[in-house]
């Protein structure tokens, strides 16, 4: 197994930062693989009684990427591209409005959010590491660390990658825990940045 075949694979024995960032990266990659290369019908598929769609999950996780590394980390507003989309800050908006977006728009939204997040995270790590306090916190004034923000985003991806597993299998039968060796997105950019 070479790194070029599995660039999303975490290190076997790295630092805390390497493991946390790589865990997020692996989940991003697994999510992207499960949601990749679908047409409008595939991105709008619903299963059972759930209203979740792959398109809605793509848009939701794109918003969570930008929200985590702007609003929560620095207190800055979401900014572009969200300020031009009608985003109202509620999860319902992301899931409902995704039905109006093309596959290209959804993949580009997520790819761009991940790229911005990687850049913002790299800068934050260089300026204070995992222990630095983020802007967001509790009503009593306690603030969360960058470590906590990353762990929360890992949890968010873990939850929704499970949803994505079920929906994608219903769309076309794609199953599996990890992308195959050498996988690259068919529509958009690789979440690991190369």
- Closest among 84, 142, 140 to 109, alpha carbons compared: 84
Domain ranges (residues) in the chain: 20-172
Scanning 15-145, the segments in alpha helix (DSSP H) are 16-35, 40-44, 54-67, 73-74, 91-97, 103-126
Contact 1, 181 (CB under 8 A): yes
CATH homologous superfamily of domain 20-172? dinb family like domain (1.20.120.450)
Contact 134, 149 (CB under 8 A): yes
Q: How far apart are CA 45 and CA 82, in angstroms?
A: 24
Q: How far apart are CA 177 and CA 157, in angstroms?
A: 14
**What is the H or E stretch that residue 78 is in?**
none
Q: Write the CA distances from 149 to 17, 53, 144, integer angstroms.
A: 13, 25, 7
Backbone dihedral angles phi then psi of residue 32, each to the nearest 5 degrees: -60, -40
Measured in whole angstroms, the distance separating CA 76 from the mean position of its chain's CA atoms is 19
Backbone dihedral angles phi then psi of residue 150, each to the nearest 5 degrees: -65, -45
Q: How far apart are CA 72 and CA 106, in angstroms?
A: 23
Asked whether residue 187 carries a pLDDT value surpassing 80, the answer given is no
Backbone dihedral angles phi then psi of residue 143, each to the nearest 5 degrees: -115, 155
Q: How far apart are CA 14 and CA 44, in angstroms?
A: 39
> What is the pLDDT at residue 7?
84
> What is the pLDDT at residue 1?
44
94-148 pLDDT per residue, tens: 999 999 999 999 999 999 999 999 999 999 999 999 999 999 988 999 999 999 9
Determine the average pLDDT of the residues in 53-61: 97
pTM of this structure? 0.93
């Amino acid at each position: 197994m070479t790194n070029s075949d599995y660039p999303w694979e975490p290190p076997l024995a790295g630092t805390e930062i390497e493991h946390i960032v790589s865990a997020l990266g692996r989940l991003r990659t697994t999510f992207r693989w499960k949601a990749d290369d679908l047409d409008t019908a595939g991105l709008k598929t619903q299963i059972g009684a759930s209203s979740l769609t792959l398109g809605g999950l793509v848009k939701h996780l794109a918003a969570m990427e930008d929200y985590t590394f702007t609003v929560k980390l620095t207190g800055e507003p979401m900014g572009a591209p969200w300020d031009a989309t009608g985003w109202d800050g509620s999860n319902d908006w992301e899931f409902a409005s995704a039905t109006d977006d093309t596959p290209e728009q959804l993949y580009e939204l997520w790819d761009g959010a991940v790229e911005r997040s990687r850049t913002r995270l790299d800068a934050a790590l260089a300026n204070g590491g995992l222990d630095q306090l983020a802007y967001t916190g509790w009503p009593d004034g306690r603030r969360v660390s960058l470590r906590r923000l990353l762990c929360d985003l890992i949890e968010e991806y873990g939850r929704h990658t499970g949803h994505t597993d079920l929906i994608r299998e219903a769309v076309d039968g794609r199953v599996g825990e990890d992308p195959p060796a050498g996988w690259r997105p068919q529509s958009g950019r690789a979440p690991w940045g190369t």
